[in-house]
Chain A
Amino acid sequence: MTGKKMVNTYLYTRYERFWHWLQTALISILLVTGFEVDGFYTLLGYKTAVEVHNFVGLGWLIAFAFFVFWLLTTGEWKQYVPTTKKMFTVIHYYMLGIFRGDPHPVPKRKDAKHNPLQRIAYLSVAMFLLPLQMISGFLYWSYNSWTAWGLDWLSLPVVAAIHILGAFGVLSFLVGHIYMTTTGHTLFAHIRAMITGWEEIPEGVELEDWEKRQRKGHQASESEAPSA
């Protein structure tokens, strides 16, 4: 971008990429079938839409549990710890700098994949929006067992309303998220990275300590292995 040398870096592990695209598929299917069930259009047919939505929804719950397990065991959860440092620099970049062709103030690193804006966005999506969808969806799905589970006080329209509101939130996130993939040094750089795991990032940008995800007996600088 600014004449700095780009280095091909392995950013995303196989599981991360698999999880990302699996979740993409699951959420897309859930959105498409969910809005059909809500009566916006007819596509698969109501019965099929419900069956697919239920199956994929439950599947997502299980897969998400695997993801949480992965986050905890690998320590990757630290990538999501929110921070205000450089937050405004990043906001400023997306509001102005990006139009001037400035370099990204917080380029990606293996142990700092998310800039402060991403951290707060992904954390709120993963901690609030998606669990809200999972919980409200699971309750919606288990409607017939409410009496047996002592959940009689729940109201189906309220659960449905929350679930639909959440769906709009997810759809809105998806629009923003897809757009943001085009903001790399080329239009498809970020998408390519999420497919192959490798992304070209400017060389020699010093990481600040807070940005680094610490690993025991493993220096951040060592883990960065430029490809041949």
Chain B
Amino acid sequence: MGHLHRRRVLQYGAAAASALALPGLTRAQGGPLKIGLITPLSGAQEFIGSYVRNGAEIAVAQLNNAGGILGRQVALEIRDDKANPAAALAAARELLGAGINLHIGGISSAVVLALAPVMQQEKGIFITCGAGTEKMNHEAYSPNLFRPGDSPDARGRAQARLMAEKYPNVTRWTGLIPDHEYGRTTWSIFVDGLLEFYPAIAKKKPEILDPVLMPYGVSDYRNAVTAALRQQADGCYNSTYGGDAITMFQQARGFGLMQRYKVICDSANEFLVARGLKQQLPAQWTGMHYYAAANKGNAMSDRFVADYLAKTKDPEPLGWAAEAHAAMYALAKAIEKGKSTDTAAVIGNLKGLTWDTVTGPRYMRPEDNQAVKDVELVFIEPANTEKGYAVSQYVKVDGKLVILPPAPGQKLKLRTA
């Protein structure tokens, strides 16, 4: 017995020594497939980050119930990026150092742009779940960075096209834009769309006023609101978002600013602002990554909504959850296709991938790692309902009609007023 015991000890010792000596091999061969989720879980963007986390966790549960990826269960390694590039870089380096090469998350443009070089250098992959920068597909293009959602050029140009179609007489436009990368990008693209689609569709030349820059994360927007009042524009494009947008709308209400516009086109708040403002909401168009009600009948969407309700008690998941869900399914399909989790293989199989999502099939353009996806736009109005708002119009714009051609490594070329 004692002899056997000693032999066992030697066997265990040898196994432990092998495991210590060859950590990469042991990770590759057994245990769950770990995927990094780097998203805001604290700070100003925590609320949006919670959608990303829920969407990713639902996708992982669904994949695991279906047998996992390549027969392996999937586990998320979740880290908080605080919507801050430094925190995101620290989290990414930690996960990459632990041998995790596949990552999703990142809703802040600054975070995603900061992660690109480290992913390339350390042979990782990062799939954003809603960052709006155009640079990741252009001058800051990295083969290791992917966007499964609509591109900022597709979104902004689809909105401009809709404005030209529905409001041909609204030709004097201004913008209320946050003073950072996302705000300037969204406004520039929207202007490009106005300058293309108003002459083509409305047969009129739009007048573009200087946008009003909104400070980020402050408690008072009155000076900016009065600057906008002086402009006397007919159409307003807003890309302030979340809590900032709600504060701005509340303070603008006192001045009657929003009532002066014939149309308000919001970049991407989905229902965040409507849920916060309820009956204070100025009627407006907004862009959605995913509008659950319009995707009823899509089996994947119906199941996603049911799982989201069961997990969070929220019957209407917003787009950031859908983007995380789509990112996980893109990864799963690319891995299954190449039967490998190796970075080079996954990159190769993500490029040109067509995969099913809650908004229908999407195609990942191989040239610049940008998905081609239809743009979903809704018109929301205050309503005397429990929610305090209602969707009165829904428009789906064919992504292929509005997305600009791929130009990785080159600056996005846009028309300027």
A binds B: no
Q: What is the interface of chain B, defined by CB distance below 8 A to chain A?
A: none
Q: What is the interface of chain A, defined by CB distance below 8 A to chain B?
A: none
